[in-house]
Chains A and B, each alone.
Chain A
Amino acid sequence: MNRAAALKTHRLPETAFIALATGRKDSDAIRLLREAQQSKHTMLLHAIAEAAGDADPANPAIAAFRAGYELLTRVQVTKPAAWTWLLSLPHLGGWANDGLIRLDQGMSPDFAYLACAAASGAVRGSVPFELDVPIHDGHVLLPGLGRIAVSRETSASGEPAWIRLSCDGSQLAAGDRVVLPRATLMPDYGLAKPGPPWHGTPAARVIADGLSWDVLLATDDSYLDRYKLPMAVGLDADQLERWRKRVRSAFEVLVSQHRWAADPIADGVAVIVPLAPNSETDLITATSPAAFGAIATSWPPDPVTLAETFVHEFQHIKLCGLLDLVSLTESGEESVYAPWRHDPRPASGLLQGVYAHLGIVRFWAAQRHAESRPDDILRAEVQFARWRPTITTAVDTLRRTGCLTPEGERFTELMRAEGQRFADEPVPDEALKIAREVSLDHWLNWQIQHMAADAAATASLADAYRAGEPCPGYDPSGIRIRKDVLDIGPNARSRLLNMKYLEPARYRELIGDGTFPLTKPDRLLLNQATEAAARGYRDLIGESADPQPEAWVGLALALYQLPASPLADAFASRLPVLFAVHGCLGAGYDPLDLAGWFG
């Protein structure tokens, strides 16, 4: 039978495309993305099934896969809601994605996982079954539901041990010893005292203003362990309750102030993956294109930060879902500046960032009117003022790369127009000043670290300056963006500048007690003694035999704070060249005189 003609692809209406680009009334569009993800997971499952068809049927993992596939076929037909639930799990997306990659790398996918997933779907849908599943660390995993403690025994060969699951629709037996009512096999919402042998996946069920959100706090599935930091496994009951309360509070922030985001997030985010940060003061958040519907985050310091994280990361989720359907960028060699990153980004990365920040701008545009404490108001106003202009500049950068497809051109134009809606909203002067200073600091540090002036041109300029000749001019096209021009590591001054609005009380404390490790000019700059700071940086640069990149950035920041001058413009626009030429000249040369020579 030739079915080729009957198979259509998902279609994305123009209205859905616009809704996704702008973030306005996008609930229907997100439903389309979710449906497409289900098809994608089915498609990848089929690719893995084809590989299983070529494998040795006597292999226990292959046998488990085939049994799982057969069970899933029954679940799909008899309990479509359970099938849809399973297909929507980011766990399954992660497994299918990794399975395809492993196949392409000549390795075997984790075939046996499908038996666990099928059992989970069948349990969810009360579908009777019997099949063998693998035991890992004494547990049988039911993705999306939890784990059954069965035994700590492993086979003598070191291969995974297996156990038979039998379900009659009302009870589930694992081997001969464990029998559990099906109704108890659900996530752990913290409502009943959990106990072995069933360990429900931690979850939160939150309701605010009539809107409910059911979300897993999952660290029990290796296919969700796909972020740069490890999952925060082993959270105890108290820690889990803290997470539930924090999620609830953040959701209340969204529902009360950002309903536009609350509805789609409640609909589209099924899993939060708590992460273990390297430091308690670091906030790490992430998403993965392979795990649609999952947001990973370390412990958020407050509900508003978590609410912003949900908005930010859900933007990535939406864009990843869209990019599964249509290409917005073509691959290109060029890396560019992204105002929120310390490293140069390809066009595709910048697109992700600007889309995320469009959501962030909208979030802070509203949140700044909801805050009541002065420090919280300052944080919200600076966040809004800092990110608002980046939408237009980043879209301009994207278009300049030439990497956008026609759909990408359209998408970014819609984003730009959406960003410009906020352009005329008033912001208090203090917040604007901080936002501009932090943005400039980021841009200057990035230039020093990633923009390399042409060596021959730099040497020629240094020779001309040393000889007292007029500046011959320089060609900015000779500047190359590279990841590794200069590694100057963490910068205490930049961290303090950010702390000024992210944690104002801590900032005042650190500046006040004078113990934070800063250079003398840095301390002068942060205490608004700008002219003295500029002199300090100038002396430091002029007298040192070594390059002083942080002092160059500091001098540029000080000049920016002083009344407008050509020197300030020269530093802001030509810093990599000034730095490079001065490096050729060596000690004893005045950086301000050199900047003035450039004109």
Chain B
Amino acid sequence: MATPLQNIETFIPDLRDVPLDQLAKYGTSPLAHSITLYRERLKKNGMPLNNFNARIRKLG
């Protein structure tokens, strides 16, 4: 049986209350780190520009 988890720290920085014109100040901070992480995950997952999870059911 898998162990119950505590609150999970996620990959995404909480930017809800950060003014857009202040984002640049986070340039070398966890924001840049998070963008790098996201980029790596996109590459690792081989995310295509289009399509995902298509379900096709042929009838008739």
Binding site for B on A (CB under 8 A): 1-4, 7-14, 17, 35-36, 38-40, 42-47, 49-50, 69, 72-73, 76-77, 97-98, 100-101, 104, 225-228, 279, 281-290, 301, 312-313, 316, 324-327, 331, 340, 348, 352, 356, 406-407, 409-410, 412-413, 490, 495, 498-499, 502-503, 506
* Chain A residues within 8 Å of B4, by CB: 14, 410
Q: How far is the CB of A258 from chain B (nearest CB, A)?
A: 19
B9:A11 contact, CB within 8 angstroms: yes
Cβ-defined partner of A9 (8 Å) among B14, B23, B28: B14
Contact A7/B29 with A288-B51, A313-B53, A502-B59 known, Cβ cut-off 8 Å? yes
Give CA–CA (A76, B18) in the complex, Å: 10
A104:B42 contact, CB within 8 angstroms: yes
* Chain B residues within 8 Å of A356, by CB: 53
Residue of B nearest to A319 (CB): B53
Cβ-defined partner of A283 (8 Å) among B1, B28, B57: B57
Residue of A nearest to B59 (CB): A281
* Chain A residues within 8 Å of B42, by CB: 97, 100-101, 104
Give CA–CA (A367, B28) in the complex, Å: 53
B47:A100 contact, CB within 8 angstroms: no
Cβ-defined partner of A76 (8 Å) among B20, B44, B60: B20
In the assembled complex, 18 residue pairs joining A and B whose CB atoms fall closer than 8 Å, in A order, are A10-B10, A11-B10, A12-B7, A39-B14, A42-B18, A43-B38, A226-B51, A227-B52, A283-B55, A288-B51, A289-B47, A324-B10, A325-B12, A326-B10, A406-B2, A410-B4, A490-B58, A498-B59
Give CA–CA (A495, B10) in the complex, Å: 44
Contact A11/B52 with A39-B12, A43-B31, A101-B42 known, Cβ cut-off 8 Å? no
Q: How far is the CB of B11 from chain A (nearest CB, A)?
A: 6
Interfacial residues of chain B within 1-60, with CB under 8 A of chain A in the complex: 1-16, 18-31, 34-35, 38-39, 41-45, 47, 49-60
Give CA–CA (A383, B47) in the complex, Å: 31
Cβ-defined partner of B20 (8 Å) among A72, A301, A348: A72
Q: How far is the CB of B59 from chain A (nearest CB, A)?
A: 5
Q: Which 4 A-B pairs have the closest CB atoms?
A: A281-B60, A325-B10, A4-B29, A409-B2
Which of B21, B51, B52, B53 has the most chain A CB atoms closer than 10 A to its own CB? B53
Contact A506/B51 with A39-B15, A325-B10, A410-B3 known, Cβ cut-off 8 Å? no
* Chain A residues within 8 Å of B41, by CB: 327
B23:A285 contact, CB within 8 angstroms: no
Contact A73/B15 with A100-B38, A286-B52, A325-B10 known, Cβ cut-off 8 Å? no
A287:B53 contact, CB within 8 angstroms: yes
B58:A9 contact, CB within 8 angstroms: no
Cβ-defined partner of B59 (8 Å) among A9, A69, A73, A503: A503
Give CA–CA (A412, B28) in the complex, Å: 36
Binding site for A on B (CB under 8 A): 1-16, 18-31, 34-35, 38-39, 41-45, 47, 49-60
Q: How far is the CB of B27 from chain A (nearest CB, A)?
A: 8
Q: Main secondary structure on chain A at its contact with chain B? A: helix
A326:B11 contact, CB within 8 angstroms: yes
A226:B23 contact, CB within 8 angstroms: no
A285:B54 contact, CB within 8 angstroms: yes
Residue of B nearest to A70 (CB): B21
B20:A43 contact, CB within 8 angstroms: no
B59:A227 contact, CB within 8 angstroms: no
Give CA–CA (A227, B56) in the complex, Å: 12
Contact A286/B14 with A9-B34, A12-B8, A69-B20 known, Cβ cut-off 8 Å? no
Contact A14/B6 with A1-B25, A98-B49 known, Cβ cut-off 8 Å? yes
Residue of A nearest to B28 (CB): A4
Q: How far is the CB of A167 from chain B (nearest CB, A)?
A: 19
A324:B11 contact, CB within 8 angstroms: yes
A283:B56 contact, CB within 8 angstroms: yes
Residue of B nearest to A281 (CB): B60
A3:B29 contact, CB within 8 angstroms: yes
Q: How far is the CB of A44 from chain B (nearest CB, A)?
A: 7
* Chain A residues within 8 Å of B54, by CB: 227-228, 284-286
Q: How far is the CB of B12 from chain A (nearest CB, A)?
A: 5
* Chain B residues within 8 Å of A227, by CB: 50-52, 54
Give CA–CA (A73, B21) in the complex, Å: 6
Which of B3, B9, B15, B49 has the most chain A CB atoms closer than 10 A to its own CB? B15
Give CA–CA (A76, B15) in the complex, Å: 12
* Chain B residues within 8 Å of A39, by CB: 12-16
Give CA–CA (A284, B59) in the complex, Å: 11
* Chain A residues within 8 Å of B22, by CB: 3
* Chain B residues within 8 Å of A285, by CB: 54-55
* Chain A residues within 8 Å of B29, by CB: 2-4, 7
* Chain A residues within 8 Å of B2, by CB: 406, 409-410, 412-413
Q: How far is the CB of A228 from chain B (nearest CB, A)?
A: 4
* Chain A residues within 8 Å of B58, by CB: 279, 281-282, 490, 495
* Chain B residues within 8 Å of A43, by CB: 12-13, 15, 31, 34-35, 38
Contact A325/B8 with A39-B13, A228-B50 known, Cβ cut-off 8 Å? yes
Which of A39, A228, A286, A324 has the most chain B CB atoms closer than 10 A to its own CB? A39
Give CA–CA (A282, B19) in the complex, Å: 46
Q: How far is the CB of A475 from chain B (nearest CB, A)?
A: 32
Residue of A nearest to B20 (CB): A73
Cβ-defined partner of B55 (8 Å) among A7, A36, A286, A324: A286
Q: How far is the CB of B5 from chain A (nearest CB, A)?
A: 6
B51:A9 contact, CB within 8 angstroms: no
B5:A410 contact, CB within 8 angstroms: yes
Contact A76/B19 with A44-B38, A325-B12 known, Cβ cut-off 8 Å? yes
A226:B50 contact, CB within 8 angstroms: yes
* Chain A residues within 8 Å of B23, by CB: 42, 46, 49
